[in-house]
Chain A
Amino acid sequence: EVQLVESGGAVVRPGGSLRLSCAASGITFDEHGMSWVRQAPGKGLEWVSGIDWNGGTIGYADSVKGRFTISRDNAKNSLYLQMNSLRAEDTAFYYCARAVTSAMRDAYDIWGQGTMVTVSS
């Protein structure tokens, strides 16, 4: 079965850090770009960060630039998001999503179920 499974979401205090993981199975992970997309409760979708198939091209939304770091390990079929200096406005469900092609900026055809990050004191 083709699936992406996120983990690592938690409740964290402002200024804290978290590392999200996304494990892929049933897909050819290393041929596709990947992204993290978040959705605050009751709100719309926001692209957070993306990485192309081999990690050669990486991008971030302005709202997280300098605080979040995306990475991937193709040998482990895994995607990561290191989140530092967390703010209340980072509270959201975080989805990992597979790009249709090897690029990171693309349409996304497979989505994980999401992991919840809550930033609160």
Chain B
Amino acid sequence: DIQMTQSPSSLSASVGDRVTITCRASQGISNYLAWYQQKPGKVPKLLIYAASTLQSGVPSRFSGSGSGTDFTLTISSLQPEDVATYYCQKFNRDLGVTFGPGTKVDI
């Protein structure tokens, strides 16, 4: 079974900082990767799918990259409303669906 890990598990940054979250798959998953944002007490929100495609309506300060086993979510300029937990997720007919453990982002 393919495992997903995320690092760091939590981070604290200042408004305006560039923030990078890493997601790693134990085996190659091509670009079958999505990123979600979950604010406290709220429902998960899709930010990026297919590793780098920005979901409609998501601010352009969010970006995704990677392929194979290593992926990153970058927030180019952290804003107060970005305080949330961020999850990566792999998906594929043959690879199943698994979420990463999450990265908590604070200001």
Contacting residue for B34 out of A35, A37, A107, A114, CB 8 A? A107
The contact size tier of chain B is 20 to 34
The answer on a CB contact under 8 Å between A105 and B43 is no
Chain A contact residue count (CB 8 A cutoff): 21
Bound form: Cα–Cα A50–B99 in Å: 14
Q: What residues of chain B have their CB less than 8 Å away from a CB belonging to chain A?
A: 34, 36, 38, 43-46, 49-50, 55, 87, 89, 91-93, 95-102
A-B contact pairs, 28 of them (CB 8 A): A37-B99, A44-B99, A44-B100, A44-B101, A45-B87, A45-B99, A45-B102, A46-B99, A47-B97, A47-B99, A50-B97, A95-B43, A95-B44, A105-B91, A105-B92, A105-B93, A105-B95, A105-B96, A107-B34, A107-B46, A107-B50, A108-B34, A109-B46, A109-B49, A111-B44, A111-B45, A112-B43, A113-B43
